Structures are given as C-alpha cells and as structure tokens.
Amino acid sequence: MTVVYRPEQIKAVHQLQSGSILAGGVGSGKTLTSLAWYLTSVCNAASFKKGESLAKRKVKDSPTLYVITTAKKRDSLEWEEEAARLGLSTDPACSYTGSSIVVDSWNNIRKYSDRKHAVFFFDEQRASGSGRWSKEFLKITKHNQWLMLSATPGDVWMDYVPVFMAHGFFRTRSEFLDEHVQFDRFAKYPKVKRYIGTAKLERLRRSILVEMPVERHTTRIRKTIPCKYDKKLYDQVVKTRKDPWTGEPLRDAGGVCRTLRKVVSDNDYRSDQALKFLKSHEKVIVFYNYDYELARILDIAESIRVPVSQWNGHRHDVLPDGARWIYACQYTAAAEGWNCITTDTVLFWSLNYSWRVTEQCEGRIDRLNTPYSKLKYYFLESDSGIDKAVRKALRSKQIFNERAFFPLS
C-alpha cells in the first residue's frame, strides 16, 4: 500500500535537519514524516516523486535507526508497523536501507548512550530537567544524528535546556540559569520569578523547531460536570494540616495538596455524577490520577455491568472493543503512545497538573482517521480552591505549583 504524504508533511521533511524538533499536534503524522526524512536525507534511499508518495531504492550500509519512545508505544509495535509501510525493518536484510530499526523505551535509554554514527528519534519530550534521561540524551546527541518528535515540546523554557545544550547554545545548565532565569528571592524554595531575554530564547527555539500544522475535521467540545464535596473536611485539612483519615501531620505543600485532592475527588458525590454519566454513554475512556479514583471507577463499572479495561502501572490491557466498555487510564502511564477511533467520548475523573499531559490525553481520540467530527471531553470538577487553582493553571498552559498554592510558613 502506497503511503501518501500531505503537503505540510513534505514541507517538513525538506525543513528537517539533525537536531530539529518536529512539532505537530497529536495524530498529525510525525512518525511517517520523520521516517521519510531518514530515508531521503540520511540514507538517500528515497525521494518524493510526482504526487505525494516516495520512490524508494535499495541502498547498503545506512546508519541504524534507534527510536526512543514510551513503553506503551514500544509494546504496541506502532513504529515497526509504520516503518514496514516504507520498506524498513528490524531485520537489515529486509530493509531498503540495509540497516535495522531498533525501538525501545526511555527507561532503557542508557543502553544506547555509547552508540556512534547512528540516527536517533526521541519520540515525545522526556529529556527535560537535569535527570538521568537528560544526561543520557546529551551523551547520545554528541555522536549521532537525531530528531525529537513532540506534540507539546515544552511547558516552560526550562524544558528546553537539554535540547539547547545539545545544540551548543549553552555549555551547562548553570549558564542558562545565570543568563535567563530570575528566581524569587523571598520564596522558600527555588521558584522561577521570570525569564530574562526571552526574545533570544524564542529565536533559538525557532531555529530548531519545525512545525507541522494539520487541518483537522474535528471539533473539541469540553464540558464541566459540577461535583459537590465535603467543605467542612476540606477546611479542616487547610486549618490543621493533618491527614483527616490517619491524623498524621502534613509536612509539605505536596502532602496538603494531595490530601485536598483526595477530599474533593474520592467521595460519593463525584461517584454519583460519574455513575450517571457512564450509564448514559456506551464507550468511554476515563482518565484518572490516583488508585483510589480507579477503585471507584471499577466499582461503578461492576454496578452497571460494563466491561472495563485498564492501562496503568499495574495492568496494560489492550483497548477494549464491543458495543459497550470503559477504558480506565492513569494519566501518566497512558497519556501517550496509543490511539482510539472507536469512541468520541473522554471523561476526566480529576484534573492533571500539566496542561501538556491533558492535551496529550485529549489527543488520544483526535486522530486524522477518526470517523467522528465532534469529540466530547467531560471534566468532573468541584468549586474547591484546589480544583479552581489547577484549572486556572491549565488555562494558562502552566504546570500547577503546589508550593505556590499552599505556602508553608
């Protein structure tokens, strides 16, 4: 079957170079676009012919392609399936390039830090901050060609630091901090007050970003389902800073916020609203944060006798099929690496702190090949301070800051 590329994909292939960030919305075709760049620009094994497809030719001794992606996408074999459509294989003898494609997860990135003269695709931005993945990313980019693929490249400028360092824009993280970050002197923790010289940072970002817009046939409709909560219990936690179930003191802002979130989302009020919703919708993906929320989802599914599958740190069930189902997905585990075109409905049991994660979750059903034109997203929310503050951060495309919300004296 011939792969047909859209004009914006072909334009992106021509703009890409080693070190680029290919930025396209979820479902925009970043996988096939990056593979076309590998075939045409790296291996010289293909070129675009008249029309919008690739004319391929066999070559030898091309560099191995390594794809570092999420565990879910690795296990789904999505990359291998898309590569096979273009004549690429995990077996060099079966590949147009005479080399193999290796797909693995970010958890195993250290295995490949000694590779040289290869090509790496970093699928979804994980090389942010100063952790282990970022350090291995910087080792790899010194000796190999590479691309980064992401629907949402960064929440804040700090997320770009490893990529900027890989390009030599900054020698160290400290150099970036000294030049572009002003910290709040009065905060009790390292809190960014503002970024300095953002015009330069934007110029640097534009120099490596290849954007691939896509005209969608879908419209996203978002609705809030109001949920009551125990206000007295909520106020008690704020006043005493103690866990109301164990009596243990809450020693940091994170503990207070997690407890407040449990107060507003782990109760019968929210379960009742979810029950009404799930009884009236046949196929629903439900995103949640915590195990106690999952327990309530499972109880509801059992009570209405609807089959339920899960994707989280405990279970990796495949996407369900049939006339009626619930797919319970933990935000962090299931935000990326899978698609669904058999439903138009997503329910969010509680809000996630990150707008980028939320966008990724919404994108699971917003695919170019979905038969639906209107996609519906429902959010269970209370009018509590914690829910309002998280929603405000999401609207501003910021990560909710627990210590800013509940500073401890």
- The pTM of the full predicted model, rounded to 2 decimals, is 0.75
Share of the chain above pLDDT 70, in %: 97
The answer to whether residue 240 sits within a structural domain is: yes
Are residues 341 and 250 part of one domain? yes
Are residues 296 and 207 part of one domain? no
Are residues 179 and 50 part of one domain? yes
DSSP structure string for 338-396: ----S--EEEESS--S-HHHHHHHHTTS--TT-S-SEEEEEEEE-SSHHHHHHHHHHHT
The answer to whether residue 335 sits within a structural domain is: yes
The answer to whether residue 1 sits within a structural domain is: no
Are residues 108 and 257 part of one domain? no
Count of structural domains within the chain: 2
Are residues 283 and 152 part of one domain? no
Q: C-alpha angle 43/76/310, rounded to 5°?
A: 155
What's the average model confidence in pLDDT over 213-224? 91
Confidence of residue 51 (pLDDT cuts 50, 70, 90): low
Are residues 269 and 191 part of one domain? no
Considering 211, 246, 279, which residue would you say is the last residue of a domain?
211
Instruction: Spell out the residues 6+ positions from residue 178 whose beta carbon is closer than 8 angstroms to its own.
Output: none
Are residues 343 and 396 part of one domain? yes
CATH number at residue 313: 3.40.50.300
Q: Give the number of other CB atoms < 10 A from CB of residue 242.
A: 16
Containing structural domain, residue 280: 219-405
Considering 180, 211, 242, which residue would you say is the last residue of a domain?
211
CA 55 – CA 96 distance, rounded (Å):
11
What's the average model confidence in pLDDT over 369-383? 96
Confidence of residue 192 (pLDDT cuts 50, 70, 90): confident
The answer to whether residue 14 sits within a structural domain is: yes
Are residues 223 and 204 part of one domain? no
Considering 211, 233, 252, which residue would you say is the last residue of a domain?
211
Are residues 233 and 126 part of one domain? no
Contact 31, 79 (CB under 8 A): yes
386 has a pLDDT exceeding 60: yes
- Give residue-wise pLDDT tens across range 255-310: 999 999 999 999 999 999 999 999 999 999 999 999 999 999 999 999 999 999 99
39 has a pLDDT exceeding 60: yes
- Give residue-wise pLDDT tens across range 340-350: 999 999 999 99
Share of the chain above pLDDT 90, in %: 70
- Given this model, what pLDDT does residue 234 score? 97
Are residues 167 and 300 part of one domain? no
CATH number at residue 207: 3.40.50.10810
The answer to whether residue 255 sits within a structural domain is: yes
The answer to whether residue 2 sits within a structural domain is: no
The answer to whether residue 179 sits within a structural domain is: yes
Are residues 224 and 172 part of one domain? no
Contact 61, 98 (CB under 8 A): yes
The answer to whether residue 316 sits within a structural domain is: yes
130 has a pLDDT exceeding 70: no
CA 13 – CA 41 distance, rounded (Å):
8
CA 265 – CA 295 distance, rounded (Å):
12
- Given this model, what pLDDT does residue 323 score? 95
Are residues 157 and 11 part of one domain? yes
